[in-house]
Amino acid sequence: MTLSRRDLASHTEFADAVEGRDYVLAGSIGVSLWISLPEESHGFKYGRFAIGLRNLCSSAPSVRERFVEMRDSRVIDDESTSNERCDWLAENDIISENERTIGWYSSVSARLRPSGILKWYLRKITKTLLIANQQWILASTLTGDPIVEFSEVQELYLTHLSVSPPDHRLEVELRRVFLKRVSELLDILQGSGRPTDLGQLRDWVLKSNPDADLAWLFTL
């Protein structure tokens, strides 16, 4: 979603305040914008903006405390909406307390049936956190058919290549990210005890993608 002019202006003011190290102003703008952003802006809110807020909180204890208060004021249970859960999860990340996210997901993963924005958040952001912490079994619950997962990663890689202007350094970086994502998928399948899926993916990839780098990944 494209941000409204007002929200875009607020984010510009936020970024300028952070750059100028006016953390009081940045915190005021950041908190207000965090609360007011509409659901449709979740890609921006939980992505680029959350990262900016996390960086701010690492430098401004008073801003971090405000986000701690917001996070702690939320009661997350079976009655919570997807938006409430996503805000709580993102606030854990903003204040660098991701162990709460891992603990929560560990306790609910067996019965949770996410949909909509919560499903997007778990697969896009929480899964990345689980991988970084080598929580392979939990990450596996957010990993479907490995061939489909691989195809999605490959399609995203090829799409970025096709729309980007020729640039060797960019191509190298896109390639690095692609292979990293594939490697993470293999780690999940291996670490969570899914040898059949791993074998099927290996056979399919090596047959349909004559790629030395991919072949090398399957030998590790």
Spatial CA neighbour of 114 closest among 74, 81, 90: 81
Confidence of residue 206 (pLDDT cuts 50, 70, 90): confident
pLDDT at 167: 79
The kind and range of the H/E element at 49 are none
Residue 103 has pLDDT above 70, yes or no: yes
Residue 3 has pLDDT above 90, yes or no: no
Please state the φ and ψ torsions of residue 4, each to the nearest 5 degrees: -65, 160
Query: For residue 93, what are the CA distances in angstroms to 18, 162, 211?
Result: 19, 33, 36
Question: What does the pLDDT look like over 111-148, one tens digit per residue?
Answer: 999 999 999 999 999 999 999 999 999 999 999 999 99
Question: What are the domain boundaries of the chain?
Answer: 1-137, 143-220
Residue 149 structure tokens? 């997962």
Q: What single DSSP character describes residue 132?
A: H
Question: Which of 42-52 are b and which e, b meaning 16 or more Cβ less than 10 Å from the residue's Cβ?
Answer: bebbbeebbeb
pTM over 0.85: yes
Confidence of residue 48 (pLDDT cuts 50, 70, 90): very high
Spatial CA neighbour of 145 closest among 191, 102, 105, 204: 204
**Among residues of the chain, what percentage have pLDDT more than 90?**
79
Length of the chain: 220
Spatial CA neighbour of 138 closest among 114, 104, 115: 104
